Amino acid sequence: MNNSHQESSPDTQEADFGSAALSKQRKIIHFSSGETLEEEDSEEEEEESLNRAPFREPAEKTTSSKATDNLMDGQTETIHLSHGLDGSHYGATGDGRCPADSQESCDVKHMDKSEGCHNRAYQADEVHEVYENGEDENPILNQGSDANLFEGDILIPEGRNAMADKKYRWKFPIPYILGDDLDLNAKGCVHQAFEMYRLKSCVDFKPYEGEKTFIKFEKRGGCFSSVGDQQVGQILSLGSGCDHKAVIEHELLHALGFYHEQSRTDRDDYVDIWLNQVTPGLEHNFNKYNDDYITDQNTAYDYESVMHYRPFSFNKNASIPTITTKIPEFYNIIGQYLDFSKMDTLRLNRMYNCSGPLTLLDQCAFEYTNICGMIQASSDDADWVHTKSSEGEEDHTLLGTCRDAGYFMHFSTMTGKPLESALLESRTLYPKRKIQCLQFFYKMTGSSKDKLVIWVKLDDGTGTVRKMKKIHTFNADSDHTWKISHVPMEVGVKFRYAFQAVGGDPSTSTGGIYIDDISLTETRCPNTVWRIQNFSKIMETADNNTVIDSPRFYSPEGYAYGVRIIPLSSYTDYTGNYTGLYFYLVSGVNDVVMQWPAVNRQATLVVMDQDPDIKLRMSTARSLTTDMRMTSDGKLFWDNPSKVGTLDTSCDCYKSESWGWRNFIKHFDLRRRNYLKNDDLIIFIDFEDITSLSPNRSPH
C-alpha cells in the first residue's frame, strides 16, 4: 500500500541480543465448536478431503524464543536449529538486530504487573483459518456465481473484443475506484497488486477523477473481470476469497487484455483437455481462440503463468483432472497463485511497450564485470574486489544452484591498517517517489569490529551529487552467514547510494565483508523480516504438531505481534504437503497507550522468492485485516492480548489466538525456485493501519 507511509527512522541503531533461551512446551490447540470443514464444490477440494481430516491439532510442540527478543522497525530475526534434528525441537536464538533502545522485553520484571505476566494457568491456544471453507483455493472458477461469465472469471462484454485489437488497450495511469462494498482487506490487497504491477511493468493506476474509462472494484459473487479497456468504465469483482494479491493480479491481467493461458491457439501442443471429464454444460470454459483474436506477444506457452487453470478445474469427478500437461513436470505447476511468472511479466511489458518498471531504480547481482555501473571511490584507502565464488566462499546469487559459480563484492579485513575502508558507489539515480528501500544480502566474517556503512550521496542543490548522508551501520557479529537486509530511505533528489566497508582489527580478522544481490526500489521496506534457517530439514522432520513461533515484533504503530509457522500443516493435495502461516498479537510494552481493539489493521505475510532479479521473483503473499469479530465466549479477537490472550510461559507474555492459512505455501513450491536458497526461509511481515481505505473512517 502506498497511502500510509510510516517509516521508521532510516538511521536505525543495531544491537545484539543475548542468546534467547529456549523452552520446550506443549500446547493444546482446539477449535471453537461448530468449526468444520465444508467441501467446496470445485476441483481439487474433493480429492484433498480424502487425505484431510478436519484441522484439529491434538497437541502441539512449540518452540518460542524467549523474552529478550523484541524487535522494532527494520527488524530482522533469525531462527536456526540449535538442538539437532530430532524432529521435535527447533531452537530459536535472538540474534537479530534492532534499535538499541527497543530492547524492552516481555519479562515480568519489565512489565507493569497489571498488564499481565502474572502467573496463571496456561490456557489452550487456537489457530483459525482465514478461509474456513477454502474459499481462496480456486476463486477464479466462480462456480455458483450468477454473473454473466464465460471461462470462469471473464465477464462477457457488450460486443466481444479481440485483444489483438489495440483499441482495447489502456492508457496509463488507469483510473480506479474502490467500491464501498469491498472488504477492507480486499482494498488493501488491491494496492498490493498495484505495487506489483508498478515494480514489474509500466502499468500504473490512479484514483478516479471523472475519466470516461476506469476500473471499479466491487464485491459481487466471485472474482471476475472483462478483458481489455471497454472504454465506458468497467467492473472488476472481488467477492469473498478474492482478497489475495495473486488473484487480483490475475483479474487485472484480464482487464489489461489477457485471456487464460490454456485458451491459446497452440494449447493442444502443451496440455490435454479432457472434455469428457468436464461438468456437462461447462465445456465452454475450455474454449480456445484464433491468433487473430488473442495475441501471445511472440512468447512460448507458459505452464507457470498466473493465467493458467489448475488440473481439476470444472471437473465432474473429484479425483479426475480436466487438464493434464504434456510435460509431466508441469502438472504441479499449472494454476500457480504465487505471482506473475517471468512470461506474464514479459508479455505485459511487450503489450504495453514498457521501457522499464516504474518503481525499480537499480539492481545488481554483480554477475558481470561492469558491476552495474557501480564505481569505486578514489578518495579512500582500498577497493572492494569483484570476486568469483569458490569453495567456502559462495556468492548469494547462485547459492545452492551451482558450485564455484557466481560473483559478489568482497572486502578483506585481514590485511591493511585498522579502519582502512573502501567505498562502492552506485551510478546516479533519479527518484520519482520520495520513498525507497535498499535490499541486499551481506555476510561479515572478519573481526567483530568490522563495519558495513550504508551512505547516500545527494544533489547539493546545484546539480552536483556530493552531499554525504550516513543511513545505516551494520556491525559484524558471530553470525557469519549470508543475511538479508532492508534499509529504508527517503530521497527526493538525484543521488547515489554507497556501501562502505571498514576493517576493524586486521590482527583478529579471518575474513571480510561481502555484499550481493542488491535492489533499490521505490517501495516501502517490509516492517519485519523473519529468517528461519535449515528449513528443508525442518520440513523433512516436522510432523503435524510441530509449531514454531516467531519472536515478538513491533509494528510501526507499536503493536506487538508474532507469526506462527506450521512447517507441515494438516492440509495436503495432489501436489503433496503444505506449510501453514498464522498471525497473532502479543502483549507488549506499548499496550497501555495503544488503541484496543486493534481493528482495521492489515497483517501481510510474504514468503520471499530469493531470485536475484527482483522482477522475476514470485514471492507469495496473504493478508488478513483485523475486525470486530468475537470469540465464542464473547470477547473481541483483536482486543488487548493481556485481556483476551493466553499466557505463554516461554515468553511470559500473552498471545492472542492466531489466524492464518494452513495452505500458505506448497512444499512442492518451496523446493523449487529460490524460496529456500541457502536453506533459509525468509518471511516479510507487515501490520499496518489501513483505516484510511475504509469508507467509514470513524474508529470503532
Q: Which are the catalytic amino acids?
A: 251
197 forms beta bridges with: none
Of residues 134 and 335, the one with the C-beta less far from Zn ion: 335
In the complex, what is the shortest distance from the CB of residue 307 to Zn ion, in angstroms, rounded to a whole number? 6
Q: Are 254 and 225 in contact (CB under 8 A)?
A: yes
Contacts of 479 (CB under 8 A, 6+ apart): 78, 95
Task: Give the residue, chosen from 111, 140, 399, 498, that forms a contact with Zn ion under the rule CB under 5 A.
Answer: 140
Q: What distances in angstroms separate CA 338 from CA 135, 138, 302, 582, 644, one per listed residue?
A: 16, 13, 15, 18, 34
Q: Are 385 and 513 in contact (CB under 8 A)?
A: no
Q: Please identify which residue in the block is written with the cell numbers 505481534.
A: 561
The reply, when asked if residue 153 is annotated as ligand binding, is yes
In the complex, what is the shortest distance from the CB of residue 243 to Zn ion, in angstroms, rounded to a whole number? 16
Of residues 337 and 499, the one with the C-beta less far from Zn ion: 337
For position 465 contacting Zn ion by CB under 5 A, the verdict is no
What DSSP line would sit under 523-583, residue for residue? SPPPSEEEEESSHHHHHHH--TTEEEE---EE-TTS-EEEEEEESS-S-EETTEEEEEEEE
Angle at 153 between CA 147 and CA 157, to 5 degrees: 65
Q: Which one, of 510, 443, 353, 475, lies nearest residue 680 by Cα? A: 443
* Integer Cα distance of 667 and 567 in angstroms: 9
In the complex, what is the shortest distance from the CB of residue 48 to Zn ion, in angstroms, rounded to a whole number? 22
* Integer Cα distance of 46 and 633 in angstroms: 32
Of residues 248 and 693, the one with the C-beta less far from Zn ion: 248
Instruction: Assign 651 to helix, strand or coil.
Output: coil
With CB under 5 A as the contact rule, which of the stretches 132-140, 458-466, 499-507, 678-686 interacts with Zn ion?
Answer: 132-140
151 forms beta bridges with: none
Of residues 140 and 456, the one with the C-beta less far from Zn ion: 140
In the complex, what is the shortest distance from the CB of residue 224 to Zn ion, in angstroms, rounded to a whole number? 7
Of residues 203 and 520, the one with the C-beta less far from Zn ion: 203
In the complex, what is the shortest distance from the CB of residue 444 to Zn ion, in angstroms, rounded to a whole number? 47
CB-based closest residue to Zn ion: 153
Of residues 96 and 139, the one with the C-beta less far from Zn ion: 139
With CB under 5 A as the contact rule, which of the stretches 1-9, 61-69, 98-106, 133-141 interacts with Zn ion?
Answer: 133-141
Burial status of residue 212 (CB atoms within 10 A of its CB: 0-12, 13-18, 19 or more): exposed
With CB under 5 A as the contact rule, which of the stretches 4-12, 66-74, 145-153, 155-163 interacts with Zn ion?
Answer: 145-153
The reply, when asked if residue 260 is annotated as ligand binding, is yes
Q: Mark residues 84-123: x for contact with Zn ion by CB under 5 A, - for none.
A: ----------------------------------------
Of residues 82 and 265, the one with the C-beta less far from Zn ion: 265
Of residues 44 and 153, the one with the C-beta less far from Zn ion: 153
The reply, when asked if residue 244 is annotated as ligand binding, is no
Angle at 205 between CA 600 and CA 258, to 5 degrees: 110
In the complex, what is the shortest distance from the CB of residue 312 to Zn ion, in angstroms, rounded to a whole number? 16
Of residues 153 and 609, the one with the C-beta less far from Zn ion: 153
With CB under 5 A as the contact rule, which of the stretches 127-135, 138-146, 456-464, 660-668 interacts with Zn ion?
Answer: 138-146
Dihedral of alpha carbons 126, 130, 135, 139, sign: negative
Burial status of residue 552 (CB atoms within 10 A of its CB: 0-12, 13-18, 19 or more): buried
With CB under 5 A as the contact rule, which of the stretches 108-116, 153-161, 358-366, 496-504 interacts with Zn ion?
Answer: 153-161
* Integer Cα distance of 71 and 552 in angstroms: 7
In the complex, what is the shortest distance from the CB of residue 152 to Zn ion, in angstroms, rounded to a whole number? 5
Q: What are phi and psi of 324, to 5 degrees?
A: -125, 155
In the complex, what is the shortest distance from the CB of residue 116 to Zn ion, in angstroms, rounded to a whole number? 48
For position 153 contacting Zn ion by CB under 5 A, the verdict is yes
From the centroid of its chain, how far is CA 400? Answer: 22
For position 344 contacting Zn ion by CB under 5 A, the verdict is no
In the complex, what is the shortest distance from the CB of residue 236 to Zn ion, in angstroms, rounded to a whole number? 11
Question: Tell me, what DSSP letter sits at residue 102?
Answer: G
Q: Please identify which residue in the block is written with the cell numbers 537499480.
A: 362
Which residue type sits at 652? D
Q: What distances in angstroms separate CA 129 from CA 28, 304, 661, 664, one per listed residue?
A: 16, 27, 6, 11
Q: What distances in angstroms separate CA 376 from CA 421, 446, 494, 497, 513, one per listed residue?
A: 11, 21, 19, 12, 15
Q: Are 424 and 385 in contact (CB under 8 A)?
A: no
With CB under 5 A as the contact rule, which of the stretches 15-23, 151-159, 356-364, 465-473 interacts with Zn ion?
Answer: 151-159
The reply, when asked if residue 250 is annotated as ligand binding, is yes
Count of residues touching Zn ion (by CB under 5 A)? 2
- Specify binding-site residues for Zn(2+): 153, 250, 254, 260
Which residues would be at the binding site for Zn ion (CB under 5 A)?
140, 153
